[in-house]
Structure 1
Amino acid sequence: MTTETKRRVLVLLGPTAVGKTRLSLELAEAYDAEIISGDSMQVYRGMDIGTAKIKPEEMLGIPHHLIDIHDPRDAYSAAEFQEQGTKLIEEISRKGKLPFIVGGTGLYIESLCYGFRFSEAVADEAFRSEQDAYAEAHGAEALHARLAAVDPASAARLHPNDRRRIIRALEIHHQTKVTLSASHAGQKKESPYELCLIGLTMDRKILYKRIEDRIDQMLADGLVAEVEGLLQRGYSRSLVSMQGLGYKEIAAYLAGEMTLDEAVTLLKRDTRRFAKRQLSWFRHMKEIQWIDVDESQNFSENFEKIRAIIAGKFLSGLEYTSEQSN
Structure 2
Amino acid sequence: MADCGEREMSSRVPVIVILGATGCGKSKLGIEIARRFGGEILSADSMQVYKGLDIVTNKVTPEEKCLAPHHLLDIVEPLQRFTVLDFRNRAVPIIDRLIQNGKLPVIVGGTNYYIESLLWKVLVEEDESSLGIRKQVKSASNEVCLDDKRQRVQADSELVYERDRRRMQEARSQEDLESKNLSVQGDLVDLLDEAALEHVPSSHLYEKLQAVDPDMAQGLHPNNKRKIIRSLQVYAQTSRTHSAILREQRSADGGSELGGPLRYPYSCILWLQCEQEVLDERLHLRVDAMLEQGLLKELLDFHRLYNEERLATSTEADYTKGIFQAIGFKEFHQYLLLSEEDRNSEKGSKFFHAGVDALKLVTKRYARRQLRWINNRFLRKTSRQVPPVYGLDATDPYFWNERVLGPAFKIVESYLEGQKPDGVEPLPVTEQSVKNELKTKHCDICDRMFVGDIQWNDHLRSKKHRRMLKRKQVL
Please report the TM-score for the alignment, with normalisation by the length of structure 2.
Answer: 0.55
Distance 1:297 1:291, change over 3 A: farther
Matched, 1:289 2:390: yes
Match of 2:200 in 1: 130
Whether contact under 8 Å (2:38, 2:103) holds in the other structure is yes
Report the aligned-residue RMSD: 3.5
SS of 1:40's equivalent in the other structure is: coil
SS of 2:327's equivalent in the other structure is: coil
Give per-residue Cα distances to partners, 1:128-157, cap 9 Å, x unaligned: 4233699xxxxxxxxxxxxxx9547xx9xx
Match of 2:97 in 1: 91
Give per-residue Cα distances to partners, 1:181-223, cap 9 Å, x unaligned: 9999431232335212111111111111111111111111111
Match of 1:167 in 2: 225
Q: Give the letter aligned to residue 50 of structure 1.
A: V
Whether contact under 8 Å (1:212, 1:268) holds in the other structure is yes
Match of 2:356 in 1: 264
Matched, 1:277 2:369: yes
Consecutive unaligned residues in structure 2, runs of 5 or more: 1-7, 127-179, 181-190, 205-217, 236-240, 251-256, 308-316, 339-347, 379-385, 421-475
Give per-residue Cα distances to partners, 1:151-193, cap 9 Å, x unaligned: 47xx9xxxxxxx9xx41223356775859x9999431232335
Distance in 1 separating the partners of 2:326 and 2:103: 33
Match of 1:42 in 2: 48
Q: Give the letter aligned to residue 25 of structure 2.
A: G
1:281 to partner: Cα distance: 1.4
Whether contact under 8 Å (1:124, 1:171) holds in the other structure is no
Q: Where does 1:232-247 land on structure 2 (aligned, <5 Å)? A: 232-234=304-306, 238=319, 239-247=321-329
Match of 2:293 in 1: 221
1:112 to partner: Cα distance: 0.8
Distance 1:252 1:177, change over 3 A: farther
Distance in 2 separating the partners of 1:30 and 1:186: 35
Match of 1:64 in 2: 70
Q: 1:19 aligns with which of 25, 40, 46?
A: 25
Structure with larger Rg:
2
Distance 1:173 1:60, change over 3 A: closer
Distance 1:151 1:313, change over 3 A: farther
Q: Give the letter aligned to residue 336 of structure 2.
A: L
Q: Which deviates the most, 192-201 or 168-177?
A: 168-177
Q: 2:34 aligns with which of 22, 28, 50?
A: 28
Q: Where does 1:72-87 land on structure 2 (aligned, <5 Å)? A: 72-87=78-93
Whether contact under 8 Å (2:11, 2:418) holds in the other structure is no
1:21 to partner: Cα distance: 1.6
Distance in 2 separating the partners of 1:98 and 1:70: 25
Q: Give the letter aligned to residue 411 of structure 2.
A: I
Distance in 2 separating the partners of 1:80 and 1:6: 28
Match of 2:469 in 1: none
Distance in 2 separating the partners of 1:19 and 1:6: 27
Match of 1:300 in 2: 401
Distance in 1 separating the partners of 2:90 and 2:197: 29
Q: Give the letter aligned to residue 15 of structure 1.
A: A
SS of 1:248's equivalent in the other structure is: coil
Please report the TM-score for the alignment, with normalisation by the length of structure 1.
Answer: 0.77
Give per-residue Cα distances to partners, 1:223-267, cap 9 Å, x unaligned: 111111111222655233112101222233211497011111111
Distance in 2 separating the partners of 1:115 and 1:292: 30
Higher relative contact order (CA 8 A, sep 6+): 1
Matched, 1:211 2:293: no
Consecutive unaligned residues in structure 1, runs of 5 or more: 135-148, 156-162, 319-326
1:123 to partner: Cα distance: 4.0
Distance 1:260 1:150, change over 3 A: farther
Q: Which deviates the most, 236-245 or 78-87?
A: 236-245
Match of 1:116 in 2: 122
SS of 1:260's equivalent in the other structure is: helix
1:27 to partner: Cα distance: 0.9
Match of 2:452 in 1: none
Give per-residue Cα distances to partners, 1:63-97, cap 9 Å, x unaligned: 10000111011022111111111111122234432
SS of 2:331's equivalent in the other structure is: helix
Count of residues paired in the alignment: 293
Distance in 1 separating the partners of 2:98 and 2:361: 38
Match of 2:337 in 1: 255
Q: Where does 1:150-189 land on structure 2 (aligned, <5 Å)? A: 151=220, 166-172=224-230, 185-189=257-261
Whether contact under 8 Å (2:40, 2:70) holds in the other structure is yes
Q: Which deviates the most, 122-131 or 82-91?
A: 122-131
- Identical columns (%): 30
